[in-house]
Structure 1
Amino acid sequence: MHPLASAQGVLHVTTDQWYRISTSDNPPAVPDLTMRSQGTLSTFAGDMLVDTGTTTSVVDITAEDWAAEPPLHVAGGSFAEVAEASVSFSTERLRVLAADGSEVLALDLGGGTGHRLRLYSRYLTPRHQTHLLRFWPVPAAAPAWDYQLDDDGQPIARPDRSATATLAVTMTAEQANTLSIEAQEMAFSEVQNGDIDDIAEDCEQIRDIIGYQAEPAGDVTVALTPRQWKVALATLEHRSGTGEEDDHAGSMQRIVETIQRQVGDRLPPGRVFGC
């Protein structure tokens, strides 16, 4: 698998520590910005702005156009950061612009207007970076994501959430409410902590699937994918170990036992949270 086309350029950073991925033929001027407070990738008037940090003076940039999502790993590794975001173009020509508006590189893109950008950044020296920008067409925007890196500086692949087959578990409506609330709380805490184990999205899906009953009564059937059940179990076990109310911790453990009795032997191996 290879890119359809690529282009290279060199950015010389002066007073503004960012460069711009232009999504239109006539991009508006960017006001004075402090990019460091907004993360590596941020948007302005539809354009993508890339923070280069406070010490960098030179960035070697390569942009690649791919027909489909490219491989996650890139030879060499030792990346300082790998991040993704969705970009919508109103032109078929991508241009990378310095903060003063000068063109660093240009590349014709195919595959429609909606694209996903993956940025690989590596420090050659404290003042010299190299950036690889990979673009491929996508049908709809997706949330931005910063990849966790392994010991070799390679990005760690996100879990496969494409499976749609579900396993059904019958529990009380009150237990379903508890699971929904705990999944929501877990999603919030993991986002605050950087979501290293990549489970916040699963927790939000669990919450949305189960919902919440204002007046819970009787039994309900909850259908989740095997991965979602693994995340649900990990959430309940973790939350029951950190709660201050013994009765509530005990109720969560009973939900764990209910799930394990009904689907425990049908869940795939491997961890989803923690060590």
Structure 2
Amino acid sequence: MRPLATADAAVRIESDEWYRISTGDAVPDAPDRTTRSYGTLDLFEGDVFVNTGTTARDIDIDIEEWSVEPPLRIDDSDGFAEVVEISVSFETARLRIFAANGSQKLALDLEGGAGTYRLRLHSQYLDIRHKRHLLRLWPASMTQEWTYQLDHDRQPVERPDRTTETFEVTMTADQANIVRTEVRAMAALEIQNGDIDDIVEDCQQIRAVIESHDVSTGQLPVALTARQWKVTLATLEHPGSLASDPVRAEAMRRIRDEIVSQIGHHLPPGRVYGL
């Protein structure tokens, strides 16, 4: 599998510490930097600003357009300082890169045309003042920004497959409400901690499934994937989720036992939290 199109450029970064990926036809005006955040990839006025850091002054930029999601790992690399993704919509079938002074440094006609793409940045230090940025993009629906964990080889760790079959557990409306409340609290906690175990998206999906039912009365058939059930169990067992109210703590234990009794044999070994 190879990219559809490629382009490259060398960009000299002065004191601004960023370059701009333009998504439209017009030459962009200089931004008001006081309104910008300073993540590595930052959406502003429809364009993507790439923060290059305070020390790097020379950036070698390689752009690759793919028809489908490209491999995450790049095994012939010495490893990366960061790998991060963002969703971006292109109004025109062209990607252009501008330096902070407004000069165009690179242009790539998109074989896939205008539309929504996923943009992945592999950032690598060549020395303290010199970086390589490999930017890969492919057609994909909008989803949350994501910064990958890196393994001991400084390669990005694959995100879990969330498209597997579902398994149904029947629980009461009260039990479903407890699960919904606990996964919402767990998601808020993990957002603060950086979501290093990649469970916030699962918590949001669990809530969405429960909220798609009428949780006011009766029995609910809740269908989740194996991973989502493991996240549910981890949430119910997490020390931070243990209720000080003995009645609620016992209710959480019973929910946990009920889940295990109904579909525990479908759940693979291994943890999803605190790896």
Do Structure 1 and Structure 2 share a fold, with TM-score over 0.5?
yes
CA distances 1:90-146 after superposition (whole Å, capped 9, x unpaired): 2222111111111222211111322110000011222111100001112x2111111
Name the SS for the 2:238 alignment partner. helix
Amino acid at match of 1:127: R
Residue in structure 2 matched with residue 109 of structure 1 by the alignment:
110
Query: How far apart in 1 are the matches of 2:105 and 2:35?
Result: 19
List alignment gaps of at least 5 residues for structure 1. Answer: none
Matched, 1:154 2:142: no
State the AA in 2 paired with 1:23: T
Within 5 Å, give how 1:63-82 maps onto structure 2.
63-74=63-74, 75-82=76-83
1:141 aligned counterpart, secondary structure: coil
Shift of 1:207: 0.9
Match of 1:134 in 2: 136
SS at match of 1:62: strand
Aligned-residue offset at 1:22:
1.0
Q: List per-residue Cα deviations over 1:18-52 (Å, max 9, x = no partner).
A: 00111112133132416984301111221111001
Report the AA paired with residue 79 of structure 2. Answer: S
Unaligned runs of 5+ in 2: none
What TM-score comes out, normalization by structure 2 length? 0.92
Are the counterparts in 1 of residues 36 and 44 from structure 2 also a CA contact under 8 Å? no
Cα deviation, residue 77, structure 1: 4.1
* 145-154 vs 204-213, which moves further: 204-213
| AA aligned opposite 2:178 | T
The alpha carbon displacement at 1:246 in A equals 3.4
**RMSD (Å), alpha carbons:** 2.0
**TM-score using structure 1 length:** 0.92
Give the superposition deviation at 1:220.
2.4
Matches within 5 A, 1:52-201: 52-74=52-74, 75-113=76-114, 114-138=116-140, 140-163=141-164, 165-201=165-201
Residue 241 to residue 89, structure 1, CA distance change in 2 (3 Å): closer
Counterpart for residue 5 of structure 1? 5
Provide the C-alpha distance between the structure 1 equivalents of 2:226 and 2:94, rounded to a whole number of angstroms. Answer: 42
- Match of 1:38, SS? coil
What is the CA deviation profile of residues 1-27 of structure 1, one whole-angstrom value per residue up to 9, with x for unaligned ones? 111221111111112110011111213
Contact 2:86 2:145 in 1 (8 A): yes
The residue aligned with 2:234 is: 234
Count of aligned pairs: 273
- CA offset digits 1:39-92 (Å, max 9, x no partner): 011112211110011111111111111111100011214211101011111222
